[in-house]
Structure formats: C-alpha cells, structure tokens
A = this chain, B = another copy of it.
Amino acid sequence: MASEFDLIEQYFTRRPRHAELGVGDDAAIVRSSPDHELVISTDLLVEGTHFFSDVEPESLGWKVLAVNLSDMAAMGATPRWATLGCVLCPGLGDGDPPAPTGAPSSSGSWLEQFSRGFFACADHYDVDLIGGDTTRGRSGATTFSVTIIGEVPHGVALLRGGAQVGDDIWVSGTPGRAALGLAHLQSRTELNGAHLAHCLTALQRPTPRIELGLALRKVATSAIDISDGLLADLGHLLKASGASAKLQIAGLPDAGLARDAYLSGGDDYELLFTSPPALASEIVALGQSLELPLQRIGAVCHGQPGTLSVFDQHAANITPKRRGFDHFS
C-alpha cells in the first residue's frame, strides 16, 4: 500500500494560487485581505451516514468540498482556503479497483478520481487546498473532514439571528431534491427523466449558492443553508432571531414523500433567507439575473422563538411533527 506521504504528494499537492505556503510543511501560511473578517467552518462526511461505499468517487470529491462551500454561501463569504482530512479504509479509498471494460473515463484509482472531483469544485470556486492529513481506518469507516476558510468585509456577514418580524422568508432552488434522489436510489420511490437527473445531481454533486450568498449581503437580514432540512434550519434561524414564522408555499407537493422531502429532507444546499417586504422586487430580479428560482414561502412573525406553522393552499395547518435530519436521532 502506498505510504501516507506518497498519497499526499501524488493526489493532493498542488501549487496554491492564493497562499504563501501550501501542503508540505507543518502548517500552511496565508495572508488575509485588509478590512476583512475570516469566516471558518468544518464539516464531516462519514461512510454509512453521509455516503455509501459504492458512491462514485469523483462526485464524492466534489460534494465533500461543496457542502462546506455552502456554509460560506450562507454567511455571504467568499471562500478562499480549505484543508482536507481523509480517513481511508479497506474496501473504499485505499485500492485501485480495475476499470470496467469499455469505461476508460472511470479509470484511475479511487483516490485519483476523488481528488479530481475535489479539485474540480475547488477550481470552480477558486479555493486553494492548503493542507490536511491522511490516515488509515477500519473497514466501512471512510471519513472526510473539510475545514473551509473564507473572507467577508468587516461587519457584513449574513447571520442567523438577524430576521425581523414582518420579513419575508425566501428559499432558493427546489428543496427536497436530494432526499428524493436518495429515496430513488433506495427504491423507496421511482423518478425518471429530467426530474430524476435533477434529484441525483442535487444529491451527488450539489451546487453551493456562493453567488447568491454574496448578492444577499445587501438585501437579506438573515440566512442559513438547509442542509438539515428546510423546517429544521428555519427553526434554527428563528430561534437565533427570537421569532416565529408562518409558511404558505405555492406549489408545495401534496402529502407524501415529495412533501416530506421538501419540508424535512436533509442534504439540500439551497439557501433560506429573510428580507424586508419592500425589497421583494429586488430579490425577484436577483433570482432572474442568477438564473436561480427564488421563492417567497412565508413571513416572520411574533411567537415563541423557533416555532413555526405550515399552511396548505386552503389555509389548513399541515405543520409536520418531524422537522429535519439529525445524525443522532
């Protein structure tokens, strides 16, 4: 088996574009921009909990970074630097499975494909991989840990706690797609055509809403990504803001898996944000310029902090009991 140092050198050492010193010393060195704050987040992706052992490694490499970039988007920050910790385990990520006959595009070792996806995401969002650690673990326990560091001008970061009573509540894209894609892969539902493709892309190669986050600095009072599910993350935002909310969502699917996925499906990387009603037309225009649907789904109101109610098109209360995804529940 290749040594730890060989693996790092072979797959993860690239000359950084925005760092004084990258992979290869005891630590990396970077210089932050004047008059900016640093925005820092860490996420874990664990085999069996966040991905399966038969996951396509290039997509996983993309996703491992993308879910962290989503946290930068939710803060209105520009992502700059990342570190990557890899616990590689027998059966996944430690060998060179033979390429399927006639499938040269999937050739190369698991780790090579993983790193290709990781750097595709890093390049797309202009992020430098500046360090990390690689070690071996037990079968079935492959784990990735990414820390992302971004920058935001002093005092303009988007926080969870800024929502005001009367604000509109908005969400980007179509929540629930990742959960539906997972349900399809687990044969709990059957999707097809473009809808299937959208749901699998949302699950396997999510798009962090970096551009949206940067644009929201000027118009949003609060923001969060909905990686724990729309209602759960809205609950976190409302609790931090000391407010309640009423939701009435045009086009919300009828009761069943699709509605549950929309309201409570985890693993979505859309942004949920609040904004004064006077800015609604600006937000509609922003969605058009980004070619990203932005939908008003409700309003912030007085009430017990963190609580919320969901109404259907007939104004009947349909608030579900289970709000979202918790690895420990």
A residues with CB within 8 A of B: 1-7, 20-21, 24-32, 37-44, 46-50, 71-72, 74-75, 77, 81, 83-87, 130-138, 140-141, 143, 145, 147-150, 152, 154, 157, 159-161, 223-225, 240, 326-329
Is there an interface contact between A159 and B25, defined as CB atoms closer than 8 Å?
yes
Is there an interface contact between A26 and B75, defined as CB atoms closer than 8 Å?
yes
Is there an interface contact between B157 and A85, defined as CB atoms closer than 8 Å?
no
In the complex with contacts A40-B130, A147-B42, A147-B83, A25-B240 CB distance below 8 A: yes
10 closest Cβ pairs, A-B complex: A141-B141, A145-B145, A27-B41, A147-B147, A26-B74, A42-B83, A26-B71, A135-B327, A4-B328, A85-B145
13 contacts between A and B (CB under 8 A): A24-B240, A25-B159, A25-B160, A27-B72, A27-B75, A27-B77, A28-B39, A30-B38, A31-B38, A40-B81, A43-B133, A44-B135, A149-B149
Q: CB < 8 Å: which of B31, B44, B131 contacts A42?
A: B131
Is there an interface contact between A85 and B38, defined as CB atoms closer than 8 Å?
no
Q: Chain B residues with Cβ under 8 A from A4's Cβ?
A: 326-329
| A48 nearest CB across to chain B (Å) | 6
* Bound Cα distance from A75 to B25, whole angstroms: 9
Q: Chain B residues with Cβ under 8 A from A2's Cβ?
A: 328
Q: Chain B residues with Cβ under 8 A from A84's Cβ?
A: 42
